[in-house]
Structure formats: structure tokens, C-alpha cells
Amino acid sequence: MSRYWSKLVQQLSPYVPGEQPKIANLVKLNTNENPYGPSPKVIAAIQAELGEQLRLYPDPTSTQLRQAAADYYGIQAQQVFVGNGSDEVLAHLFNALLKHEQPILFPDISYSFYPVYCGLYDIDYRCVPLAEDFSLNVKDYVQGNGGIIFPNPNAPTGRLVSLTDIEWLLQHNTDSVVVIDEAYIDFGGESAVKLIDRYANLLVTQTLSKSRSLAGLRVGLAFGHVDLIEALIRVKDSFNSYPMDRLAEAGAIAAFKDKAYFESTCNKVIASRQHLTEALTALGFEIQPSAANFIFARHPQRDAAELAAALRGHGVIVRHFKLPRIEQYLRITIGTSEQNNILLAALQIILS
């Protein structure tokens, strides 16, 4: 703390990202990165962009990338917003669309960045408890609010809300924006992007960090009615005109175009999730049904924090949240089959 800090900074409680340890040969299953590298076409596109033109500013409107994302979903480029990771897109939408008189709503167990943005932008919020089994009931969100946001599938539980339920919520909540954070949608859900033409208050966010193996490139997107997109552009152009650098834009365009690579890596992750779920169940774990690239698991006889510490001793890092309701759970990212086998072998020793 310093007397030079603003009152706002003195009161902030920043987000704590999952650890990025600098230890070799670690089986890193703690931050939901994709275990497979990006498409070779993405690497080639970034390499082709590496050159003299880096002296020039990038396109401030990222028109080609917005078009590539629009083509992927069969929508218009004006319905797409892009930013430096979906965390930045989320920051802008909290500021642009969720700051109103009434508190916004999000689940009590959810992405822990949401309350941080509320702190940064001075937005009131109310947490809506998930059911006992961690399922999300959209009926609980029909109450006065300044906006609604939840990840689908939810993080860190992995549970999916159906598109039918989302549509029901949109029909019963028309006075504020509903944001669906689809960071993990490609691993087993159906995207709500197809609903944006019918619901002017729906905004869908996505990221290339998980399903497209590009966490290091920092590319996030939002899809919605042009009026919502315009609000985001107004905030962006009051903050940073060039959030997407040339390399990020080139790589991201190539990522949207290489559908075959994207689908094959997603399918590998989904198959590994199935296998890991069965193997962990056989070891006595209780697993939440997951549509994401991670699973949320507890062992009825073992303390989760102790399990996480023991796994670390075997060179395997998983995520443990010391938070109410979920402190006996571990969030385990789906790795390659090889990584998953190292995890299972370590657990076999720890549990015996």
C-alpha cells in the first residue's frame, strides 16, 4: 500500500491466475490449457506475418479476423467483437453493458474473475446459488437485475446448461443483457451464437485459449446484436485502439480457417475426458458431468488439498480452490493420454 495509490486501487482484490511454474517435465493440469499445440497452419501464418510490417500498427478494427469468425458461424462481421483474450472482452462488457442501477447476477460457484471486474468498475452483484448437485437452474435468474452472466459449460464444475434453457431465460429476461461465457463450449456444448439474431440482449463470449490451443496468443471474442457490439467498440476505443497485434490477428484467422485440425484436437480431448472419468471413478472419485476440457472431482475419503499437495510431489499440478462448497474438489485439466496416465499412476500410489 502506498499513499500514492488511488482509493480504487487500495480497494481492489485482483484475480489470482493458476500457477505457471517454471519446472521442467511437470504434468501441468491446472489452467485448462490445451495439451495439443496450435494448428501448424496457425504457426505458418504467424511466421509469415513476422517481418518488416511489424513497424506498422495493426488494423484497429481487426476486420479480417472478425470476418473469419463471422464466416465460421455464418453471421455478419458487425456482430463480432475481438479483444486481447476473452478476459479483456469481459472487462469491456462489464463496463459497457453490466453497470446499471440494479445488481448483476452470476452463480455462487463460477469464474472468479467476475467479482473482480465488479470491484474494478464498481458494479453491484448478487450471487445465485447453484443447486446442491451444482446444476444451474435458469428460473433462479428471473428476478430484478442489471445483467446476467455465467459460463456455459460452467467453470469450475464443467456442467452444461442446455440451449433450450438459455432461450427460456432470454424470453423471461428482456430488460438486461444476458452474457454466456462460452470459454469451453467447443468441448461438448452447442453454442448460443445461433440465437443472437433473435435476442437483442444476448452476448456470447468465446476464447481461442482453450479449444484452439492459443492461450499464449491472447485472442477473445464476443458475438451479439450490432448495438451491443457498438457499446464494446466505444469502450475499446476509449481504452486501447490496437488490442489485437498483427501476429495475433494472423494466427487467429488461420485458426478459424483450419476447421479439420480444430475438430480433431477437440475430439481427442473429449475421448480422453471419457477415459479419465471412467478411470477416476474406478479409483473412487465422484465426478461432475463435464462438457469442458477439465473435470471436477472429489474423493469421499480424501481431503482435496492434501491430494493436490501429494500430486505435486509426483510432478502433477491440478487446481484446488479453497472456497465454500467446493473445497473438497479438484479441477483437473484433460491432458494427453500420456499425461492422464501419469496422473492416474500417481493417484494409484497416493490412494493405496
Ligand X SMILES: *Cc1c(COP(=O)(O)O)cnc(C)c1O
d(CA 83, CA 289): 31
Given the complex with ligand X, which of 70 and 183 has the nearer CB atom? 183
Given the complex with ligand X, which of 11 and 20 has the nearer CB atom? 20
Q: Which span sits near ligand X by CB under 6 A: 11-19, 84-92, 224-232, 277-285?
A: 84-92
Q: Which span sits near ligand X by CB under 6 A: 80-88, 92-100, 298-306, 329-337?
A: 80-88
Given the complex with ligand X, which of 218 and 246 has the nearer CB atom? 218
3-class SS shares of the chain: helix, strand, coil, % to 5: 40, 15, 45
d(CA 85, CA 220): 4
Spell out, one character per residue from 147 to 166, where the chain touches ligand X: x when CB under 6 A holds, - when not: ----x---x-----------
- Pull the grid cell for residue 68: 473469419
Other CB atoms within 10 A of residue 265 CB: 21
Q: Which span sits near ligand X by CB under 6 A: 82-90, 192-200, 259-267, 273-281?
A: 82-90
Question: Could you say which of 87, 186, 249, 258 contacts ligand X (CB under 6 A)?
Answer: 87
- Pull the grid cell for residue 62: 481487426
Q: Is 33 in the site for ligand X (CB under 6 A)?
A: no
Q: What type of residue sits at position 81?
A: F
Alpha helices in 18-172 (DSSP H): 40-49, 63-73, 85-97, 113-121, 163-172
Q: Are 286 and 300 in contact (CB under 8 A)?
A: yes
Q: Is 15 in the site for ligand X (CB under 6 A)?
A: no
Question: Could you say which of 45, 138, 183, 235 contacts ligand X (CB under 6 A)?
Answer: 183
- Pull the grid cell for residue 293: 476440457
**DSSP for 83-119, written as a single string:** ESHHHHHHHHHHHHHS-SSSPEEEESSS-THHHHHHH
Given the complex with ligand X, which of 256 and 299 has the nearer CB atom? 256
Task: Give min distance, CB of 286 to ligand X, in A.
Answer: 22
Task: Give min distance, CB of 215 to ligand X, in A.
Answer: 5
Task: Give min distance, CB of 151 to ligand X, in A.
Answer: 4
Task: Give min distance, CB of 313 to ligand X, in A.
Answer: 27
Q: Which span sits near ligand X by CB under 6 A: 14-22, 38-46, 69-77, 83-91?
A: 83-91
Given the complex with ligand X, which of 183 and 343 has the nearer CB atom? 183
Spell out, one character per residue from 189 to 208, where the chain touches ligand X: x when CB under 6 A holds, - when not: ------------------x-
Question: Could you say which of 106, 111, 223, 261 contacts ligand X (CB under 6 A)?
Answer: 111
Question: Could you say which of 35, 38, 85, 251 contacts ligand X (CB under 6 A)?
Answer: 85
Residue 318 host element (H or E): strand 316-318
Q: Is 215 in the site for ligand X (CB under 6 A)?
A: yes
Give SS3 for 224: strand
Residue 333 bridge partners (DSSP) = 294
Residues in Cβ contact with 44 at an 8 Å cutoff, skipping those fewer than 6 apart: 254
Site size toward ligand X, by CB under 6 A? 12
**Alpha-carbon Rg for the chain in angstroms:** 20
Q: Which span sits near ligand X by CB under 6 A: 22-30, 85-93, 260-268, 336-344?
A: 85-93
Residues in Cβ contact with 188 at an 8 Å cutoff, skipping those fewer than 6 apart: 153, 160, 270, 290, 291, 292
Q: What is the dihedral of CA 184, 186, 189, 190, to 10 degrees?
A: 120
Q: Which residues bind ligand X (CB under 6 A)?
A: 85-87, 111, 151, 155, 181, 183, 207, 209, 215, 220
